[in-house]
């Protein structure tokens, strides 16, 4: 026997479908694209710089590529799909590139300095975009972390 057809209501829709129904503010869209732009810049810059522009003086370029490029694959699907939670935790990953580029700015010259400058710019763009997109979209969707004073587990009887 076939199950009866149930029309979508707020009670039986998935959270993802509900998130797609809530309109996104213009500033939120701008931060979404800013985060994606910074991510795309890093995603392209890392292999291009490691394999062609500034290959390492010592060691294998492929090993360095694996170490630097692998972390960018972790948030890829969530960034493409615009998941606020992914944008929030991607900020931890972008700090790898911020520190890497800052170090190269201090110790390098020539092409390595220029690549480090671009990497620093891309990581800052991604950090700003991801931070504000996650915050704004989270507010639009009603997602929030309770303040410590409002946490029922921590309140004394």
pLDDT of residue 148: 72
In the chain, where the domains are located: 26-143
pLDDT of residue 75: 98
Please report, in tens digits, the pLDDT of each residue of the chain (157 residues total).
454 454 454 444 555 556 778 999 999 999 999 999 999 999 999 999 999 999 999 999 999 999 999 999 999 999 999 999 999 999 999 999 999 999 999 999 999 999 999 999 999 999 999 999 999 999 999 887 767 777 666 665 5
In the three-class reduction of DSSP (H, G, I as helix; E, B as strand; rest coil), residue 84 is classed as helix
Only one residue has tokens 């110790």, namely 107
Distance CA 123, CA 39 (A): 8
pLDDT of residue 14: 58
CA-wise closest residue to 39 among 96, 104, 102, 112: 96
pLDDT of residue 15: 57
The conformation of residue 142, written as its DSSP 8-state character, comes to T
Distance CA 18, CA 20 (A): 5
Distance CA 139, CA 51 (A): 41
């Amino acid at each position: 026997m076939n199950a009866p057809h149930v029309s979508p209501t707020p009670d039986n829709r998935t959270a993802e479908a509900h998130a797609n129904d809530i309109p996104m503010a213009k500033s939120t869209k701008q931060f979404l694209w800013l985060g994606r732009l910074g991510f795309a810049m890093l995603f392209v810059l890392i292999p291009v710089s490691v394999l062609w522009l500034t290959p390492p003086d010592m060691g294998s370029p492929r090993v360095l590529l694996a170490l630097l490029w692998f972390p960018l694959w972790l948030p890829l699907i969530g960034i493409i799909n615009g998941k606020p939670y992914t944008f929030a935790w991607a900020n931890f990953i972008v700090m790898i590139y911020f520190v890497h580029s800052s170090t190269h700015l201090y110790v390098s010259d020539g092409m390595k300095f220029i690549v480090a400058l671009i990497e620093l710019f891309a990581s800052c763009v991604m950090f700003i975009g991801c931070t504000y997109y996650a915050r704004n979209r989270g507010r639009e969707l009603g997602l929030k972390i309770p303040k410590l004073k409002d946490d029922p587990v921590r309140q004394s009887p």
